[in-house]
């Protein structure tokens, strides 16, 4: 009896699925879903080489410092970095005194309370502070940015597929929508005349829906003057700031990889010994 | 328990003797995972995954307890406390990545453990209770993993919680009140986060309790083996310790190597980038997907796209998804072939391989966006999934002609070695 009920349930669900398959095939053949502009014209991130790729990769301190400079002079005007503290910058090779100076001279002041009146006030950040947010709240951020809230950048490199390459591609991917063609040679505005970038947005095929609110932030060579003499091309600045944001997202990447090597070395030996003892114990038993 | 020839515990150290007389805990351990538990001598590496599941649970509990020391279940700060673990807690990144990837490894070894049971008929008499308790553990694991994934309060946490509790909303009349009751509100919020944390901390200990029952039930008939033939005498078994402790030690080493490779060199490979974005009720992610270990069931859920008379497709999908798991509870009575091991069941073996591929296909579709192509593939795969367990297995049991079984485990072992020419057959002295 139980089996009969169960078999009936099986016939129902399997039958339902086969019927649904037939019906969806019919729908697919008679009325296929039209492809969208995003499906056809969205680009995957470019191939970018970073020193931290690979199982032995590590950060290039010079590059992180350059990336930090780009963040400081360009990105930080709109984007917060709320999970990173000034003291963390010592990991980039800055001395304690330099970090103190960076914090003190930071354009955006840290929120505080006036010790005499209890009124909200601001003060110079100290190394223990996290990077102060450029806007008091989301409403202020949206009001200042054409109704779009600039996202926090602390974790951006882990919050997108292929993060660092994505950031690099996005920063260098702004282009004219006129005449933009995909790999198949189709032209966006000819295929999808309705998908013209709306007023106030900017066309960028690396962005999920092709148009984003952020204006191209890196526009000219030499926008940032690097202290170490590296030529500040747009591509170089984009690569450096992508590397910096990978560090902000994964500051423990280097100790993770080096610990991993030591752990693997230990485990390989231990497992080898475990295998030998297993063979030894079983030597007298056929199995 | 188990076999009359099992070794008896005789404490040597006076302290152990003293304890054993007052509380026979040393005896219990000795009889469960020591020399007092006779185990078939022919177990292959697929029998390592039970112990490895236990190891994975220990890794989860230890790393989880440490995580809980630094985490705060409050929707305003939860995301930030996870980042605090990653950045400011000593070796916090190691603890958190171990916990996140440990969940995946727990499911990997448990799935291998389940499929081993499916192939070798470990669910059949007299081990039905072992199988049923195992499924209870699996259900508890799914609940624990789901609630654990909500705790970081990222975008996938939030929207996952919304979608999964929304499944209950598909139930007619009482669905929406149930959903509200489960969440403690109309949408996931602080109330939901707190109760999920509370239950996420509780359930692993419930799992540990059911594991004790699972092992207890196992020790009544003793372990199954690759031939599926019952143990006939002492020559068929070896004591669990040192034979299988040594083998499990090696298995644990291999497990930890693979775990470390993922943990240290690709810790976010199995995660979703969107969960590094703080939960935002106003912004829905483009593709809401659960963790990979739920993908096959998620594919079944989404495969139902058509209403059945007055039953809406969404409700059908929910019913089918729960049915896909619950039907496993009836497996011992669906497949009543007297032969346990798939090795001796030529027809069953073919369908078992198809089932494995089918579940992988369902998993692949469940992780993909719900576009027409993937949904159509899931529909075929889901049809097979239900047909396999509910129609094909009972039919095979009726019509299949199994291969001849060996007379005993020892005979099978010796036959294997003779065939491979490793040891000449013992010629009786004349």
**pLDDT tens digits along A20-40:** 999 999 999 998 888 888 888
Contact predicate B131/B115, CB 8 Å: no
Q: Is A50 left (phi over 0), alpha (psi -120 to 50) or beta?
A: beta
Answer whether B249 sits within 8 Å of A19, measured CB to CB: no
Is residue B272 among the annotated active site residues?
no
> Is pLDDT above 50 for B203?
yes
pTM of the model: 0.94
Q: Is the pLDDT of residue B127 over 80?
A: yes
| Residues facing residue A110 across a β-bridge | A123
C-alpha pair distances (Å), B44 with each of A173, B115, B152: 55, 14, 39
State how far residue B164 is from chain A, nearest Cα, in angstroms.
Answer: 21
- pLDDT, residue A1, reads 85
Binding residues of B for a ubiquinone: 219
Distance from CA of A215 to the nearest CA of B (A): 22
Give A158 to chain B, closest Cα distance, Å. Answer: 6
Nearest to B334 among A6, A28, A287 (CB): A6
Residues of chain B neighbouring A247 (CB-CB closer than 8 A)? none
Q: Is A220 helix (H, G, I), strand (E, B) or coil?
A: coil
What is the helix, strand, coil percentage profile of chain A, to 5? 45, 5, 45
Closest-CA residue to A239 (of A27, A7, A62, A20):
A62
Q: Could you tell me if A113 lies within 8 Å of chain B, comparing CB atoms?
A: no
Cβ B305–A16 below 8 Å, yes or no?
no
Of A24, A55, A252, the CB nearest to B375: A24
**pLDDT score recorded for residue B429:** 47
Residues of B in contact with A129 (CB under 8 A): none
- Known catalytic membership, residue B219: yes
Check if A143 contacts B (Cβ < 8 Å): no
Instruction: Summarize the confidence of residues B253-278 as an average pLDDT.
Output: 97
Contact (CB<8Å) B257/A13: no
Q: How do residues A198-233 score in pLDDT, each as one tens digit?
A: 988 999 999 998 999 999 999 999 999 999 999 999
Residue of B nearest to A257 (CA): B264
Q: B274, B291, B335, B358: which is the annotated catalytic residue? A: B291
Paired strand residues for A187: A181
- Identify all chain A residues contacting B43, using CB atoms and an 8 Å cutoff: 287
Catalytic residue among B223, B337, B341, B378: B223
Residues of A in contact with B83 (CB under 8 A): 83, 154-155
Q: H-helix or E-strand containing A211?
A: strand A211-212
Q: Quick one: pLDDT at residue B193?
A: 97
Q: Do B320 and A13 touch (CB under 8 A)?
A: yes
Size of chain A in residues: 287
CB-CB contact of B392 with B401 (8 Å): no
Chain A residue at shortest CA distance from B417:
A286
Burial (CB count within 10 angstroms: exposed 0-12, middle 13-18, buried 19+), residue B25: exposed
Question: Is B223 one of the catalytic residues?
Answer: yes
Confidence of residue B430 (pLDDT cuts 50, 70, 90): very low
Residue A281, pLDDT score: 96
Of B93, B243, B286, the CB nearest to A281: B243
Segment B33-72, tens digit of pLDDT = 999 999 999 999 999 999 999 999 999 999 999 999 999 9
Interface contact A155, partner B, CB < 8 A: yes
Domain B37-415 coded CATH 3.40.50.280? no
B343 an active-site residue? no
Supply B300's token pair: 């079944």
The shortest CB-CB distance from B250 to any of A32, A251, A278 is to: A278
Contact present, B288 and B156 (Cβ < 8 Å): yes
Contact A6 B417 (CB under 8 A): no
Distance between CA atoms of residues A196 and A272, nearest Å: 62
| Distance in angstroms between the alpha carbons of the first and the last residue of chain B | 41
- Cβ neighbours for A228, distance < 8 A, ≥ 6 positions apart: A62, A65, A66
Least reliable range by pLDDT among A39-43, A233-237, B290-294: A39-43
Least confident of A153-162, A271-280, B132-141, B166-175: B166-175
Which tens digit of pLDDT belongs to each residue from A241-286? 999 999 999 999 999 999 999 999 999 999 999 999 999 999 988 8
Distance from CA of B47 to the nearest CA of A (A): 13
Predicted pLDDT at B406:
95
Q: Report helix angle B155-168 to B313-326, nearest 10.
A: 90
Across the range A92-120, mean pLDDT stands at 95
Mean pLDDT over the full length of chain B:
94
CB pairs under 8 A between A and B: 171
Confidence (pLDDT) at B421:
46
Task: Let me know: does B85 contact B96? Beta carbons within 8 Å.
Answer: yes
Q: In Å, how far is B307's CA from the nearest CA of chain A?
A: 9
Our answer to whether residue B17 is catalytic in this structure is: no
Whether A44 and chain B come into contact, CB under 8 Å, resolves to no
Output the pLDDT for position B419: 58
B286/B192 Cα distance (integer angstroms): 23
Q: Check residue B331 and give its pLDDT.
A: 96
Å from B22 to nearest chain A CA? 33
In this structure, the number of other CB atoms found within 10 A of the CB of residue B340 comes to 26
- Give contacts of A263 with chain B, Cβ < 8 Å: 260, 264
For residue A11, which residues of chain B lie inside 8 Å, CB to CB?
Answer: 390-391
Catalytic residue among B124, B162, B241, B247: B247
Q: Measured between CB atoms, which of A27, A260, A286 is closest to B414?
A: A286
**Residues A243, A64 contacting (CB under 8 angstroms):** yes
Distance to chain B for A74, nearest Cα, Å: 22
Chain A residue at shortest CA distance from B241: A281
Nearest to A263 among B264, B305, B316 (CB): B264
Which segments of chain B belong to CATH 1.20.810.10?
A: 37-415
Query: Which pLDDT tens digit goes with each residue over B316-368?
Result: 999 999 999 999 999 999 998 999 999 999 999 999 999 999 999 999 999 99
Instruction: Please report residues of A whose CB lies closer than 8 A to that of B418.
Output: none
Q: Name every residue whose Cβ is closer than 8 Å to that of residue A171 and which is 6 or more positions away in sequence.
A: A216, A217, A218, A234, A237, A238, A241, A242
The radius of gyration of chain A's CA atoms, rounded to the nearest angstrom, is: 27
Give the confidence band of B113 by pLDDT, cuts at 50, 70, 90. Answer: very high
The shortest CB-CB distance from B383 to any of A18, A257, A264 is to: A18
pLDDT for the residue B424: 45
Query: pLDDT (tens digit, 9 = 90+) per residue, A157-166?
Result: 999 999 999 9
Whether the predicted pLDDT of B238 surpasses 50: yes
| B75, B248, B274, B358: the active-site residue | B248
Q: What is the DSSP string of B290-338?
A: --GGGHHHHHHHHH--S-BTTB-HHHHHHHHHHHHHHGGGGHHHH---S
Distance CA B169, CA B52 (A): 37
């Amino acid at each position: 009896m139980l089996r009969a009920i169960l078999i009936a349930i099986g016939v129902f669900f399997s039958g339902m699925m086969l019927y649904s398959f037939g019906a969806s095939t019919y729908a697919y053949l008679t009325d296929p879903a039209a492809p969208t502009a995003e499906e056809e014209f969205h680009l995957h991130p470019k191939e970018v080489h970073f020193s931290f790729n690979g199982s032995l990769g590590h950060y290039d301190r010079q590059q992180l410092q350059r990336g930090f400079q780009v963040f400081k002079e360009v990105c930080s005007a709109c984007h917060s970095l709320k999970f990173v503290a000034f003291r963390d910058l010592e990991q980039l090779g800055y001395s304690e005194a330099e970090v103190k100076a960076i914090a003190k001279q930071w354009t955006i002041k840290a929120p505080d309370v006036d010790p005499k009146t209890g009124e909200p006030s601001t003060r110079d950040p100290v190394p223990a502070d996290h990077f102060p947010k450029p806007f008091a709240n989301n409403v202020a951020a949206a009001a200042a940015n054409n109704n779009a809230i600039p996202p926090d950048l602390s974790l951006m490199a882990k919050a997108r597929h292929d993060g660092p390459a994505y950031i690099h591609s996005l920063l260098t991917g702004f282009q004219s929508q006129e005449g933009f063609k995909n790999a198949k040679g189709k032209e966006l505005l000819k295929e999808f005349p309705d998908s013209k970038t709306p007023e106030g947005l900017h066309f960028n095929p690396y962005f999920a829906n092709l148009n984003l609110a952020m204006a191209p932030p890196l526009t000219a060579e030499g926008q940032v003057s690097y202290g170490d003499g590296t030529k500040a091309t747009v591509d170089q600045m984009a690569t450096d700031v992508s590397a910096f944001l990978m560090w902000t997202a994964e500051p423990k990447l280097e100790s993770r990889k080096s610990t991993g090597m030591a752990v693997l070395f230990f485990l390989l030996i231990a497992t080898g010994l475990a295998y030998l003892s297993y063979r030894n114990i079983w030597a007298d038993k056929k199995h | 328990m188990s076999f009359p020839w099992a070794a008896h515990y005789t404490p040597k150290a006076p302290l152990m003797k003293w304890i054993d007389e007052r509380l026979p805990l040393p005896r219990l351990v000795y009889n469960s995972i020591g020399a007092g538990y006779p185990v078939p001598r022919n177990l292959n590496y697929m029998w390592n995954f039970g112990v490895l599941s236990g190891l994975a649970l220990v890794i989860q509990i230890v790393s989880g307890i440490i995580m809980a020391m630094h985490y705060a279940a409050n929707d305003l700060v939860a995301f930030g406390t996870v980042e605090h673990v990653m950045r400011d807690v000593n070796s916090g990144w190691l603890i958190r990545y171990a916990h996140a990837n440990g969940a995946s490894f727990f499911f990997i070894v448990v799935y291998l453990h389940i499929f081993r049971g499916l192939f070798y008929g470990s669910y059949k008499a007299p081990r039905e209770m072992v199988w049923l308790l195992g499924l209870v553990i699996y259900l508890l694991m799914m609940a624990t993993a789901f609630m654990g994934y909500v705790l970081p309060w990222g975008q996938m946490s939030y929207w996952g919680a919304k979608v999964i509790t929304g499944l209950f909303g598909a139930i007619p009349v009482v669905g929406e009140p149930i959903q509200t009751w489960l969440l403690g509100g109309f949408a996931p919020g602080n109330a939901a986060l707190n109760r999920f944390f509370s239950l996420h901390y509780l359930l692993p200990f419930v799992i540990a309790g059911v594991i004790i029952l699972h092992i207890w039930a196992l020790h009544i008939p003793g372990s199954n083996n690759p031939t599926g033939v019952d143990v006939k005498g002492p020559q068929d078994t070896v004591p669990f310790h040192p034979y299988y402790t040594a083998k499990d030690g090696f298995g644990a080493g291999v497990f930890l190597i693979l775990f470390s490779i993922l943990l240290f060199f690709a810790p976010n490979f199995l995660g979703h980038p969107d969960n590094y974005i703080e939960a935002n009720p106003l912004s829905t992610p483009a593709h809401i997907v659960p963790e990979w270990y739920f993908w096959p069931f998620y594919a079944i859920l989404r495969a139902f796209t058509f209403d059945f008379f007055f039953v809406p497709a969404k409700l059908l999908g929910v019913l089918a998804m729960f049915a896909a798991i619950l039907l496993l509870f009836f497996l011992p009575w669906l497949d009543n072939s007297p032969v346990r091991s798939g090795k001796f069941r030529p027809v069953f073996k073919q369908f078992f391989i198809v089932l494995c591929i089918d579940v992988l296909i369902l998993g692949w579709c469940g992780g993909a966006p719900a576009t027409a192509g993937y949904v159509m593939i899931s529909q075929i795969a889901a049809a097979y999934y239900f047909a396999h367990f509910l129609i094909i297995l009972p039919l095979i049991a009726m019509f299949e002609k199994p291969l001849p079984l060996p007379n005993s485990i020892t005979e099978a072992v010796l036959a294997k070695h003779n065939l491979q020419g490793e040891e000449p057959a013992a010629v009786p002295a004349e």
